[in-house]
Chains A and B, each alone.
Chain A
Amino acid sequence: MYRYDEFDEHFVRERVAQFADQVSRRLDGSLTEDEFKPLRLKNGVYLQLHAYMLRIAVPYGTLNSRQLRRLALIGEKYDRGYGHFTTRQNLQFNWPKLRDIPEILGLLADVEMHCIQTSGNCIRNVTADHFAGVAQDEIEDPRPTAELIRQWSSAHPEFSYLPRKFKIAVTGAEADRAVIKAHDIGLRLRRHPDTHETCYEVSVGGGLGRTPMIGKVVRDYLPKKDLLAYLEAIMRVYNLEGRRDNKYKARVKILVHEIGAEEFARRVEAEFAQLDGPSINADPEEVARIAAYFAPPAYETLPAVSNTLEAAKASNPAFARWVEVNTAPHKVPGYTALTISLKPIGQAPGDASSEQMRVVADLAQRYSFDELRVTHAQNLVLPHVRQRDLFAIWQKLGEAGLAEANIGLVTDIIACPGLDYCALATARSIPIAQAIQQRFANEARQREIGPLGIKISGCINACGHHHVGHIGILGLEKRGIESYQITLGGDATENAAIGEILGPGLAAEDVPDAIERIVAVYLAERAEGESFIDNVRRIGLAPFKAAFQETTRAAA
């Protein structure tokens, strides 16, 4: 993974000093609260319902064991012994004290971490495919691109006071695991059909929130060398022309929607044509310098199938089930990419205790070339595990309460912190997730249902990605009572789609019943081997709506 050079190190230290200076200028009255707010947000410091919240950047979701141990330490020393992994691959602490934050930033800088641009109206922490570098369907590793964008977007002189936040995601694989179509900019590495060079497909104007939109392709094949100049052109058009009269219409998706993707692309291309690429872009040696950090680790030559693994699976069905559900194919024979579920039944999705973080850090160091990943689905990944080590890992994870075999299943729920923490929330998310998990806890039942993504947001801002959940749940407040709106048919992959609302909102206690009825329709209607989302696409919403209405009637 990437390591800081002297310049990166110095930059992050200067950012820590700058923040300390900003805090002191707020305290002595030089800055008004209004002026200070965006400065603290751009360093990840939110004021939440009960306390400050600190959001730490995990660039493109990549961590080493030392970094995760440092997060564990911070959680223990400055928080309540746990942290929350987010849908943007970051980590949040919910209870730090403002006075401790400069010290925390120093501790992070020691391990090449920071909180730069994890909030605010700027280019946010860039995200990427959590199986980058190991996925079998990968054309090119997205991490060098993501790292280049991380550097380029840090304290950008022109694009730090944008109309609204701006999120960029990168994938280099055929399957989209980075939800690129729901980002302000989504980049997909692909091969040009004629030249066979890798290029970027550039999508703009995706986003969730109160006006969900799927990103539109504005460039089919952008040469890799032109990336930064092209991003500069997009950002300049947005900075100049994005709406600033209404914060809910200020994202680039609204501009793209109002003027049309074609006109937006035309304006970007006109700006791009005016730019002197060589004076803006990173030179090929710089790109190669970054890429070298992501060279594959020293894999052993192993048989494609591990007899040790097969024997352990044969004698232990629970283990076999976990392997089947939580591992993904790896480029290299004998290895696997293991996803560790942070969704044990009944826990807050994405939370990990400091103790659990240390267990995972130890496993990463011992079994995964010291590397791990955070997924946008709020789980962790050990990307390079020898198949024969899986049993030992499973046992260790089991002791730490982290051996849930539910990746991609009905209980692997994405949920935002909701009204339990968040100042913006209109309803609780975590208890809804927990109630659904309890209802579907039975492993055989989960297996029968198969892949099904439920995503829950506690307000219209959609941090829980409910629009792209196969089943989406949005918590609203109606006359002082929480009300949950259910959507169906959303998709976060390369077949990105926004879910459609099934019917009127439900009370919290009726949500698990509604999910059961929806699932029952699928189980009754599905064709052989047909997944939930494929079934919804084939038979349409009507049968699900009918079943949903029974819930509403039963509740009435």
Chain B
Amino acid sequence: MPLLDRNGARADGWTRSEGAAIDNIPAAIVPWEFLAEALDRQVPGQSIGVLIPNNLPTAELAPFLPRLALVAIAFPAYSDGRGFSQARQIRRVGFAGELRASGPLIADQFAYALSCGFDTVELPEASAARQPVEQWLRARASFSRTYQRGYGTPERNILDRRRAARTDAAATSAATP
């Protein structure tokens, strides 16, 4: 399935496995229900990722995270935003691997997904065919700065920019004799 990261289309080095049989796959994404079994079979040098349903509590996933290189969160529909909150929680517990949104997202959700901690978006063929990569990149840049603190760099945050402006103004006035 077509894959995007913040810079555009990207090749997918991961292989989806239907079950826990991942013997010859160097980087395998397994469904959540087979994760424990797949990890038992993991061989040295092999990367394992998991595809989780969007109703999985983060607390249940957390014990596995240190051994995972990728977490893909299923978006059953673009209108189902649970994955955004899951991504935030998974990042909060310290997961530093690839976080992937998997499902029929729309270009207008790209910036949101990246802000919530996703690295990549994996689209069904039909969605990708209708929405060319340029649209995703344009939509990503719709807002140059946003209001919510903690969802991206302070440079792109309006409250942080206001704070920086206050600090600068205070420094200037202190420096003025």
Residues of A bordering B, CB below 8 Å: 5, 7-8, 10-11, 14-15, 17-18, 21-22, 25, 29-32, 35, 38-39, 121, 151-152, 154-162, 228, 236, 239-240, 244, 274, 276, 279-283, 285-286, 289
Partner of B116, one of A17, A32, A158: A158
Contact A30 B145 (CB under 8 A): no
Given A18-B142, A30-B135, A279-B150 in contact, is the A157-B112 Cβ separation under 8 Å? yes
Contact B143 A158 (CB under 8 A): no
Contact A158 B84 (CB under 8 A): yes
Partner of B84, one of A29, A121, A157: A157
Contacts of A281 in B (CB 8 A): 149
Would you call B41 an interface residue if the criterion is a C-beta within 8 Å of the partner chain's C-beta atoms? no
Contacts of B39 in A (CB 8 A): none
| Beta-carbon nearest neighbor of B111 in chain A | A157
Contact B112 A160 (CB under 8 A): yes
Partner of A159, one of B81, B145, B150: B81
A112 to B65, CA, bound (A): 46
A42 → chain B closest CB, angstroms:
9
Contacts of B14 in A (CB 8 A): none
B115 → chain A closest CB, angstroms:
4
Would you call B42 an interface residue if the criterion is a C-beta within 8 Å of the partner chain's C-beta atoms? no
Contacts of A31 in B (CB 8 A): 106, 130-131
A239 to B84, CA, bound (A): 9
A8 to B159, CA, bound (A): 11
Q: A14-B144, A35-B78, A152-B148 are in contact. List 11 more A-B contacts (CB 8 A).
A: A11-B147, A151-B158, A156-B148, A157-B151, A161-B79, A161-B81, A240-B82, A274-B92, A276-B150, A285-B163, A285-B166
B8 → chain A closest CB, angstroms:
16
Partner of A280, one of B113, B150, B163: B150
Within 8 A of A (CB), among B138-160: 138-139, 142-151, 158-159
Would you call B5 an interface residue if the criterion is a C-beta within 8 Å of the partner chain's C-beta atoms? no
User: What's the dominant secondary structure at chain B's contact region?
Assistant: helix
Tell me how many residues of B have a C-beta within 8 Å of chain A: 43
Partner of B145, one of A7, A32, A39, A162: A7
Contact A152 B147 (CB under 8 A): yes
Given A14-B143, A274-B92 in contact, is the A21-B138 Cβ separation under 8 Å? yes
A489 to B71, CA, bound (A): 53
Contact B144 A239 (CB under 8 A): no
Contacts of A157 in B (CB 8 A): 84, 111-113, 115-116, 146, 148, 151
A303 → chain B closest CB, angstroms:
42
Within 8 A of A (CB), among B84-140: 84-86, 88-89, 92, 106-109, 111-113, 115-116, 130-132, 135, 138-139
Given A30-B135, A151-B158, A160-B81 in contact, is the A14-B142 Cβ separation under 8 Å? yes
| Complex A-B, nearest 7 residue pairs according to Cβ-Cβ distance, in ascending order | A161-B81, A157-B115, A157-B112, A7-B158, A18-B142, A158-B84, A151-B147
Would you call B37 an interface residue if the criterion is a C-beta within 8 Å of the partner chain's C-beta atoms? no
A109 → chain B closest CB, angstroms:
14
Contacts of A151 in B (CB 8 A): 147, 158-159
Most buried by B among A8, A14, A35, A154: A35
Given A30-B131, A157-B115 in contact, is the A7-B84 Cβ separation under 8 Å? no
Contact B108 A22 (CB under 8 A): yes
Would you call B168 an interface residue if the criterion is a C-beta within 8 Å of the partner chain's C-beta atoms? no
A280 to B138, CA, bound (A): 27
Contact B151 A158 (CB under 8 A): yes
| Beta-carbon nearest neighbor of B93 in chain A | A274
Contacts of A29 in B (CB 8 A): 130
Contact A162 B81 (CB under 8 A): yes
A-B contact pairs, 20 of them (CB 8 A): A8-B158, A25-B107, A25-B135, A30-B135, A151-B147, A151-B158, A155-B147, A156-B147, A157-B115, A157-B151, A158-B115, A158-B148, A160-B112, A161-B78, A162-B81, A239-B84, A240-B55, A280-B149, A281-B149, A283-B159
Partner of B85, one of A10, A121, A158: A158
A30 to B131, CA, bound (A): 5
Given A236-B88, A239-B82 in contact, is the A18-B145 Cβ separation under 8 Å? no
| Beta-carbon nearest neighbor of A5 in chain B | B162
Contact B139 A155 (CB under 8 A): no
Contact A239 B85 (CB under 8 A): yes
Would you call B16 an interface residue if the criterion is a C-beta within 8 Å of the partner chain's C-beta atoms? no
Partner of B161, one of A7, A239, A282: A7
Would you call B12 an interface residue if the criterion is a C-beta within 8 Å of the partner chain's C-beta atoms? no
Would you call B33 an interface residue if the criterion is a C-beta within 8 Å of the partner chain's C-beta atoms? no
A151 to B116, CA, bound (A): 18
Would you call B80 an interface residue if the criterion is a C-beta within 8 Å of the partner chain's C-beta atoms? yes
Contacts of B112 in A (CB 8 A): 157-158, 160
Contacts of B81 in A (CB 8 A): 158-162, 239
A295 to B116, CA, bound (A): 36
A280 to B116, CA, bound (A): 14
A151 → chain B closest CB, angstroms:
5
A261 → chain B closest CB, angstroms:
21
Contacts of A239 in B (CB 8 A): 81-82, 84-85
A7 to B157, CA, bound (A): 10
Within 8 A of A (CB), among B47-101: 55, 78-82, 84-86, 88-89, 92
A347 → chain B closest CB, angstroms:
39
Contacts of B158 in A (CB 8 A): 7-8, 11, 151
B85 → chain A closest CB, angstroms:
5
